[in-house]
Amino acid sequence: MSIEALVFDFDGLIVDTETPDFESWRLAFLQHGAELTLSEWSECVGREYGFIDPHAILEEKTGRAVDRDELKAWRKPHFRKMLARQPVLPGVVDYLDGARERRIRTAVASSAPRRWVQPKLEKLGLADRFDCVKCEEDAPAAKPAPDLFLAAADALGAEPVKCVAFEDSPNGVLAAKRAGMFCVAVPNAITRQLKIEGADLTVDSLADLPLEALLSRLER
């Protein structure tokens, strides 16, 4: 099969934003004498912002109202500090370099809003490495619906069946497969603790599977 495009998730796939997000909320809960479990948090991984309300979960656990502004002021610096230490994940740049050499189009398909994704891509020096970036605002429904992947394929002029999607979460994998794409799951520190099913291929890191090896496998 000739591959026309590569479509990447952003959070947790290009850069591990998921660990800082979960850990900063977990620490915030501990400050209030409560525990946030990964099982509770996993419902929102790969989905649109606001899918769950951590403040409401904390209020339910503690039985008292939470000052949301105060909590935000405490959590945000911790989140930013942890996020600042996160590099582009291994193998991502090599894949982009390889795609450019082979004239394979590339896209980002993220359930997060553009105001989050675009500045991060620019800061990482990757904004000009993608032919298109599709975010929450660009599709009727976020993952696990297939809309974002289909929007990316349409923008690239590629058939979904000739696209490879790279995802780190159960919701993302489900969205990619619903879009009809070959899906490579690349779990991160958070999502490898979750049950990810349905991917065509699962690897610990994109660095473990060079683009040339993946394309050869698909051609066979």
Please pick, among 11, 21, 147, 168, the residue that the annotation labels catalytic: 11
Alpha carbon 51 to chain centroid distance?
Answer: 15
Q: What is the pLDDT of residue 213?
A: 96
Question: Which amino acid would we find at residue 205?
Answer: S
Is 11 catalytic? The answer is yes
Which of residues 48 and 1 earns the better pLDDT score?
A: 1
Query: Is residue 35 predicted with pLDDT exceeding 70?
Result: yes
Query: Is residue 52 predicted with pLDDT exceeding 80?
Result: no
Average pLDDT over residues 124-135: 97
160: number of Cβ within 10 Å: 21
Query: Is residue 48 predicted with pLDDT exceeding 60?
Result: no
> What's the DSSP call for residue 190?
T
Per the CB < 8 A criterion, the answer to whether 27 and 93 are in contact is no
Is 9 catalytic? The answer is yes
Those residues with Cβ within 8 angstroms of residue 148's Cβ, 6 or more apart along the chain or in another chain: 109, 110, 111, 134, 135, 138, 139, 142, 175
Please pick, among 9, 16, 131, 147, the residue that the annotation labels catalytic: 9
